[in-house]
């Protein structure tokens, strides 16, 4: 299980120094994510992708649940209203799956344009020109990596995200 550590940094140069130290400390670059204003040139720093910067995961979860529930209700209503003999179970199942898939698709499309809800506390700092550094580390290395980043006086500790899946 990995934990995500958050740090706010004032500029690209200090972010680059810290990322280089993290790489030397054997943190893979796919576990390091940098998020800044869109007009900032981050060069070769590992940018946060859609999964880190948008609310797509949360949106898909909600769309799947709401769409599935709506499809289930629609299937029950359809099977009651129209007598299909021995097929009401199939109609209910098909409409539930169709509703879930439609909800997943629509909410996923919308959520790609919504900033990640777990990053709301950093919005003002990012809009003001600071850079958010997110580092996914194994639980046993949390203190070591936190100390390494905080040893740079310009890094502000932004906290810890509770838990991430074990896969990258």
- pTM as predicted: 0.66
Q: pLDDT digit string (tens) for 20-52?
A: 888 888 888 888 888 888 888 777 888 776 666
How confident is the model at residue 5, as a pLDDT? Answer: 87
Element (H, E) at 136: strand 131-138
3-state secondary structure 20-69: HHHHHCCCCHHHEEEECCCCCCCCCCCECCHHHHECHHHHHHHHHHHHHH
Domain 2-51+116-164 classified CATH 3.40.462.40? yes
How confident is the model at residue 114, as a pLDDT? Answer: 66
Q: Which two tokens stand for residue 112?
A: 């790609």
Residue 138 to residues 51, 53, 119, 162, 164, Cα–Cα distance (Å)? 19, 21, 21, 12, 10
Q: pLDDT digit string (tens) for 133-168?
A: 888 888 888 888 888 888 877 877 777 775 554 444
Q: Across 73-130, where does the E strand assignment appear? A: none
**Average pLDDT, stretch 61-85?**
79
Q: How many CB atoms lie within 10 A of CB 79?
A: 17
Q: Where are the domains of the chain?
A: 2-51+116-164, 56-111
**Average pLDDT, stretch 73-89?**
72
Q: Which two tokens stand for residue 23?
A: 């790489």
Q: Which residues pair with 134 in a beta bridge?
A: 6, 33
Q: Which residues pair with 32 in a beta bridge?
A: 135
More confident residue, 137 or 82: 137
**Average pLDDT, stretch 91-105?**
82
How confident is the model at residue 158, as a pLDDT? Answer: 75
Name the 3-class secondary structure at 112.
coil
Q: pLDDT digit string (tens) for 104-135?
A: 788 777 766 666 667 777 788 888 888 888 88
How confident is the model at residue 168, as a pLDDT? Answer: 46
C-beta of residue 102 within 8 angstroms of C-beta of residue 67 = yes
**Average pLDDT, stretch 53-68?**
77
């Amino acid at each position: 299980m990995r934990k995500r550590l958050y740090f706010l940094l004032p500029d690209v140069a200090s972010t680059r120094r810290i990322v280089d130290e993290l790489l030397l400390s054997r943190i893979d670059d796919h576990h390091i994510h940098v998020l800044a204003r869109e007009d900032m040139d981050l060069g070769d720093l590992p940018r946060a992708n859609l999964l880190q910067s948008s609310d797509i995961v949360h949106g898909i979860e909600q769309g799947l649940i709401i769409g599935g529930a709506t499809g289930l209700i629609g299937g029950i209503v359809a099977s009651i209203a129209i007598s299909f003999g021995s097929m009401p179970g199939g109609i209910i199942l098909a409409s539930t799956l169709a509703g879930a898939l439609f909800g997943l698709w629509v909410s996923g499309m919308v959520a790609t344009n919504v900033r990640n809800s777990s990053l709301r506390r950093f919005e003002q700092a990012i809009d003001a020109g600071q850079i958010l550094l997110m580092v996914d580390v194994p639980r046993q290395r949390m203190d070591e990596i936190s100390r390494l980043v905080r040893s740079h006086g310009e890094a502000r500790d932004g906290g810890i995200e509770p838990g991430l899946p074990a896969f990258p």
